[in-house]
Structure 1
Amino acid sequence: MDQVVDKALRGMTLLKVRNIRHWTDKTFSFNCDRPAAFRFRSGEFVMIGLMVEGKPLVRAYSICSPSWDEELEFYSIKVADGPLTSRLQHLREGDEIVMRPKPVGTLVHDALLPGRRLFLFSTGTGIAPFASIIRDPETYEKFDRVVLTHTCRELAELGFGKDLIQRIAGDEILSEMVGDKLTLISTTTREASPHTGRMTDWIRDGRLAEAVGGALDPATDRVMICGSMAMLQDHKALCEAAGFTEGSNSEPGQFVIEKAFVD
C-alpha cells in the first residue's frame, strides 16, 4: 500500500497545515509550511488538495502570500458537495495537504505593460491572488497607486480583505513600503452596507472614477481581474470597450484575467 501511495505522490509535495481560520460559513483560510526550494511570482496559483482513496485530488488555488513569505496562505470557499472543498474545509492544524509545485498564472506583473495606477478587481475568494500582489515590493516600485476592489454578497464576506489591510497597516515594514499608495473599496450586492453594487456598475455610472480621482484610462492604468466567469467576462468587456488590450506572460498588455477556479 505504501508503494501505491508513493507512486501517486510523484510530482507532488506534502505541506503541513497551520493557522486555519473560518471567516464565514462559506469561506476559510489556512497557512502551510513553505518548502525551502519552492519559488513563485506574486499572483500565481498552484494545484493543491488532498489524498482521496490513494490518489491526489487537486484544484487550482491562488497563493495569498507574497513571494517573499516563509509560509503559503490559501483562501477557499466551502461547497457542501464540492469534490475537494467539502473535504478541505475540515482541515485541522497539523494535517497535510498535497501540492504540485509548478506555479503558473497570468495575474503577475510580467503580463502587464508599465503604468501609473494598478486596479485589482475581485469578487469573493477572487481576492486571493491580490493578497499576494499588494504585499509585493515590486507592485509599489512599478505603480504610483494601487486600487483593490472586493465585492461580495454580504458584509461578513468582506472580512478577509479588510483584515488584510489591517495586517499591512500593523506591519512596520509593509506599512512603510505601501504608504498611502493602496486603496481598498469593499462593496456588497445583497446586504446593505456603506458601499453597495457591483464594481462593473461603479465603472459604468462613474462612482469608481469619483472614488479614485479619474476614470479608467488605458494610457496610464493597468488592470487585473479575478472572480467568477460571469464577472470576468463583464469586466473584460468594459476594459476592451475602454480601449484596453489583454496581456499574457508572453505578450504584456493593459489588463489580465485569471481563469483558474476551485470547485
Structure 2
Amino acid sequence: MNEVVDKALRGMALLSVRNIRHWTDRTFSFRCERPAGFRFRSGEFAMIGLMVEGKPLLRAYSIASPAWDEELEFYSIKVEDGPLTSRLRNLAEGERIVMRPKPVGTLVHDALNPGRRLFLFSTGTGIAPFASVIRDPETYEKFEQVVLTQTCRQVAELDYGRDLVARIAADELLSEMVGDKLTLIATTTREQSPAMGRMTDWIRDGRLATATGAPLNPETDRVMICGSMAMLQEHKAICEELGFIEGSNSAPGQFVIEKAFVD
C-alpha cells in the first residue's frame, strides 16, 4: 500500500498547514509551508488537495500570497458536498495537503500590456489571486492606480478583502510601496451595505467612473477578472464592448480572465 501511495505522490509536494481562519460559515483561508525552490508569479494558481483513499484529490486554487512570501496562502469557499472542500474545511494545523508544484495562470502582469490604471474585478473567493497581485511590488511599478473590487452576497463575506487591505496599510514596508495607489470597492447584492450592486451595473450606470475618477478606457486601463462563470462572461462582454482586447501569456492584451476556470 505504501508503494502505491508513494507512486501517487510522485511529483507532488506535501505541505504542512498553518494559520487556518474561518471567515464565515461559507469561507475560510489557510497558510502552509512553501516548498524550497517553488517559484510562481503573483496571480497564478496551483493544483492542491488531499490524499483520499491512497490517491491525490486535486483542484485548482489561486495562490493568495504574493510571490515573495515565505508561506503559501489559499482562500476557499466551503461546499457541503464538495469532493474536496467538504474535507478541506475540516483541516487542522499540522495536517498536510498535497500540491502539484507547477503553477500556471493568465491573471498575471505578463498577459497585460502597459497601462496607467489596473482594475481587479472579483466576486466571492475570486479575490484570491488579487490578494497576491496587490502585494506585488511589480503592480505598483507598472500602474499609477490599482482598483480592487469584490462583490459578495453578504457583508461578512467582504471581511477577507477588507482585512487584507487593512493589513497592507498597517505594514510599514507594504504601505510605503502601495502609498495611495490602492482603492478597494466592496459591494453586496443581498444584505444591505453602504455599497450595493454588481460591478457590471456600476460600470454601466457610471458609479465606477465616479468612484475612480474616469470611465474604463482601453487606452489607459487594464483589467483582470475572477469569479463565477456568469460573472466572467458578463465582464468579458462589457470589456469587449468597450474595445478592450483579451490578452494571454503569449499575446498580452488589455484584459484577462482565468481560462482554466472557464474551460
Superposition TM-score tier, normalisation by shorter sequence: over 0.9
Give the aligned residue type for 1:173: L
Does the 8 Å CA contact 1:59/1:261 hold for their aligned counterparts? no
Structure-1 separation of matches of 2:261 and 2:252: 23
Give the aligned residue type for 2:154: E
Q: Which consecutive unaligned segments of at least 5 residues does structure 2 have?
A: none
Q: What is the CA deviation profile of residues 119-165 of structure 1, one whole-angstrom value per residue up to 9, with x for unaligned ones?
A: 00000000000000000000000000000000000000000000000
Q: Shift in Å at residue 261 of structure 1? A: 4.5
Task: Report SS of the residue matched to 1:249.
Answer: coil
Partner of 1:232: 232
Partner of 1:189: 189
Listed as ranges, the matches of 1:109-148 within 5 Å are 109-148=109-148
Q: Shift in Å at residue 258 of structure 1? A: 1.1
Structure-2 separation of matches of 1:119 and 1:250: 21
Give the aligned residue type for 2:75: Y
Structure-1 separation of matches of 2:170 and 2:58: 34
Listed as ranges, the matches of 1:100-179 within 5 Å are 100-179=100-179
Give the aligned residue type for 1:11: G
- Give identity over the alignment, percent: 82
Q: 4+ residue stretches of structure 1 with deviation over 4 A?
A: none
The normalised TM-score by structure 2 is: 0.99
Give the aligned residue type for 1:40: F
Does the 8 Å CA contact 1:43/1:130 hold for their aligned counterparts? yes
Structure-2 separation of matches of 1:165 and 1:259: 27
Partner of 1:248: 248
Alignment RMSD (CA, Å): 0.9
Structure-1 separation of matches of 2:259 and 2:201: 22
Q: What is the CA deviation profile of residues 169-189 of structure 1, one whole-angstrom value per residue up to 9, with x for unaligned ones?
A: 111000000000000000000
Q: Pick closer, same or farther for the CA change 1:25–1:65 going to 2, 3 Å.
A: same
Partner of 1:6: 6
Query: Does residue 64 in structure 1 map to residue 70 in structure 2?
Result: no
Structure-2 separation of matches of 1:187 and 1:167: 20
Does the 8 Å CA contact 1:229/1:259 hold for their aligned counterparts? no
Partner of 1:30: 30
Does the 8 Å CA contact 1:64/1:129 hold for their aligned counterparts? yes
Structure-2 separation of matches of 1:198 and 1:6: 47
Partner of 1:46: 46
Task: Report SS of the residue matched to 1:30.
Answer: strand
Structure-2 separation of matches of 1:36 and 1:7: 21
Q: Shift in Å at residue 259 of structure 1? A: 3.7
Q: What is the CA deviation profile of residues 31-72 of structure 1, one whole-angstrom value per residue up to 9, with x for unaligned ones?
A: 000012100000000000000000000000000000000000
Q: Shift in Å at residue 260 of structure 1? A: 3.9
Partner of 1:201: 201
Give the aligned residue type for 1:254: Q
Give the aligned residue type for 1:5: V
Give the aligned residue type for 1:43: G
Structure-2 separation of matches of 1:258 and 1:161: 19
Structure-2 separation of matches of 1:202 and 1:224: 16
Q: Shift in Å at residue 2 of structure 1? A: 1.1
The normalised TM-score by structure 1 is: 0.99
Give the aligned residue type for 1:116: R
Give the aligned residue type for 1:25: D
Structure-2 separation of matches of 1:110 and 1:260: 17
Structure-2 separation of matches of 1:156 and 1:212: 24
Task: Report SS of the residue matched to 2:197.
Answer: coil
